[in-house]
Amino acid sequence: MFIDEATIRVKAGDGGNGCLAFRREKFVPRGGPSGGDGGKGGDVIMESSERHNTLVHFRFNPEYKAQRGRHGEGSNKTGREGVDVTLKVPVGTIVYDEETGAKIWDFSRPDERIVIAHGGRGGRGNARFATSTHQAPREHEDGRPGEERVFRLELKLLADVGLVGFPNVGKSTLISRISAARPKIADYPFTTLQPNLGVVAVGDQRDEVSFVVADIPGLIEGAHEGAGLGTQFLRHIERTRLLVHLVDVSDASGRPDVVQDVEVILGELDSFGAHLAEKPMLVVASKIDAANKDKLAKLKQYCKKKKLPLFPISAVTGEGIEKLKFALAENVQELRKQNLEQAISAESPRPE
């Protein structure tokens, strides 16, 4: 089950209370105050992990509570600290404060850790209040309560390449041919009900290039407003570097105008926002083993006019697949290089 949204409630541990105690032992006539401090409450920690790829474990267990600190004891014994709770989330998870809507953290790399709820401080025992003029204090403090917060988690997949297009244009078949992913494939619309990720490797071991491809459910007109599976999955291509737009050039789709198909999808990407329409794009003419020659010629003319690279393929026969893989690897390498240069220039100090 693929779950990409969840709401959780977390409660950090309360601090232990400080102790009120006096040392009364034989041969110790001036024992004085000996109440120890309470222990600190446990924190709630969130950590990104590559072992997780969905938020399903939060959907069925939405509440988490850290251990409270133990109370202080006599003989100046400090209470034990509460045990922390660590929540594992997939890389690509964004944490929002449910009450304010503010973004708390964006887990973009594995093994990132943040404290999302701090445990309460332990209270001071009466030994802490002793002074030269106040030698038998009876004051002591209760532990502070731990933070209690509600968060909304949203998962956006991290992939280099995103496959987009109308339902049943061959996206799942393509990702099954170029990677080890095995999505459900059938001859009816909306076969894909959840995003699929596949790792593609191109070249030999010495100069191998690998990248991740995301296959999202098919889009239809009005997707940016929620039609079909709509905005539920459009956000999963926000982080991709490159889009691959599949267009069915056979007669099986029942849609006569391939140019209109392209423009509808481009319009949906533009309407959704998040700069999706500005991402680099390759156009793939799928199912050329059963192509309508007029459709293919019209698509070639349109792509030439718009200066969009076009790759005719057949995922059934394998025609054009290798050429497409090498083109994807080349584009991904170039985009990675550009992003690295931009990051370096952004971090470099500006001359005064």
Q: What percent of the chain has pLDDT over 90?
A: 36
The distance of Cα 89 from the centroid of its chain, to the nearest Å, equals 8
pLDDT of 289-327, one tens digit each? Answer: 888 888 889 999 999 998 999 999 988 888 999 999 899
pLDDT more than 70, % of the chain: 86
User: What is the band of 42 on the pLDDT scale with cuts at 50, 70, 90?
Assistant: very high
Residue 19: CB atoms within 10 A of its CB come to 26
CATH of domain 1-155: 2.70.210.12
Phi, psi of 12 (to 5 degrees): -75, 160
Q: Which CATH superfamily is domain 161-347 in?
A: P-loop containing nucleotide triphosphate hydrolases (3.40.50.300)
pLDDT band for position 220 (cuts 50, 70, 90): low
CB 42 within 8 A of CB 117: no
The reported pTM is 0.68
Report how far residue 267's alpha carbon sits from residue 261's, in angstroms, rounded to the nearest whole number. 10
5-11 and 148-155 as β-strands: parallel, antiparallel, unpaired? antiparallel
CB 236 within 8 A of CB 214: yes
Element (H, E) at 260: helix 258-272
Per residue in 244-300, pLDDT (tens digit) is: 999 888 887 777 788 888 888 888 888 877 677 788 889 999 888 888 888 889 999
CB atoms within 10 A of CB 1: 7
pLDDT above 90 (res 44): yes
CA pair distance 242, 238, nearest whole angstrom:
10
Token readout for 207 is 């100069």
- Report d(CA 6, CA 248) in Å as an integer: 35
The pLDDT score that the predictor gives to residue 190 is 45
The answer to whether 135 and 145 have CB atoms below 8 angstroms apart is no
**Spacing of C-alpha 173 from chain mean position:** 25
Beta strand 113-117 with 44-49 is antiparallel
Is 296 within 8 Å of 324 (Cβ atoms)?
Answer: no
* pLDDT confidence of residue 170: 81
**CB contact set of 223 (below 8 Å; sequence gap of 6+):** 229, 230, 231, 234, 268, 272
Q: What is the pLDDT of residues 50-78, one digit of tens each?
A: 888 778 889 888 999 999 999 999 989 99
- Say if CB 72 and CB 79 are below 8 A apart: yes
In a 13 Å sphere around the CA of 242, the CA atoms on its Cβ side amount to 24
Structure tokens at 130: 């002793």
Question: How many helices (H) and strands (E) are present in the chain, helices listed first?
Answer: 6, 14
**Domain range summary for the chain, segments of one domain joined by +:** 1-155, 161-347
